[in-house]
Amino acid sequence: MASREEQKRKRREEREARERAAEQAGKRKRLVMIGGAVMAAIAVIVVGVVLAAGSGGENDEGSQAAASAEGAPIPEQQEKDFDAAVKAAGCTFKEHPNEGSTHQSEPFDDYKTNPPTSGTHSPEPAQDGIYEPGNSPEANNWVHTLEHGRVIIQYKPGMPEEQINQLRTLAGENVNGSPGYHMVLMENNSEMAPQLAVVSWTRSLTCDEITDETFDAVRVFRDRWVDKAPEFVP
């Protein structure tokens, strides 16, 4: 009798040992599966970060995005004659009276042209580069930038993104051996009427629409008037 009870006890202990072993094995398998899933998720995140870094993200708000801005293809230059390029594009070129160059810390808005091309302005000029829509510098600042010989391309708010991206490409073209040399691209904030305006000190090129010919008109304006200003220092 005792022998049978002893055998039952041993079989019970062996069964319980097998059950504990199976339970532990199951736990280990689940941990391995969880660990693998976590590692896979981490790998996806890492790949995403690497791809984002490689594609070039936007700069912090307030800084220029010329280096990271992704442009769109634009036509190669066909016309290099100033008058012919402006006429083909249907744009208007004007030379304006010099409204002065007084530095004034207080806001000033009594400009005679829109967009302004000269006049009283802030002691702090706007920086070169490409500004994101809604983040344009104030007119008081970019008028000072014109005085330093910069050319500013301004587009009317609401312009389609594809056209803005084309203007990014145009603004980043190689000039005088440097990409985007002394150029600014920004959304207009002076409530101008034309769709596009390109301004330098006392000069403007305005266009009511953007066509393939518009890019050459902007190019010839840029090439003729960049660095032509009273405070330009080579």
Residue 16 CB contacts under 8 Å (≥ 6 apart), including other chains: none
Whole-Å CA distances, 215 to 69, 155, 210, 219 = 18, 13, 8, 6
Q: What is the pLDDT of residues 9-53, one digit of tens each?
A: 666 666 556 556 555 554 444 444 444 444 444 443 433 433 334
Q: What is the pLDDT of residues 58-108, one digit of tens each?
A: 333 333 333 334 689 999 999 999 999 999 999 999 999 999 999 999 999
Domain boundaries, the chain: 1-55, 82-225
DSSP class of residue 50? H
Of 187, 203, 195, residue with least CA distance to 113: 203
Q: What is the pLDDT of residues 104-114, one digit of tens each?
A: 999 999 999 99
Which amino acid makes up residue 149?
G
In whole angstroms, give the CA distance from residue 43 to residue 110.
58
Of 157, 160, 167, residue with least CA distance to 191: 157
In whole angstroms, give the CA distance from residue 234 to residue 232.
6
Note the pTM of the prediction, 2 decimals: 0.71
Q: Is the pLDDT of residue 232 over 70?
A: yes
The per-residue pLDDT for 170 is: 98
Straight-line distance from the first to the last Cα atom of the chain, in angstroms, rounded to the nearest whole number: 112
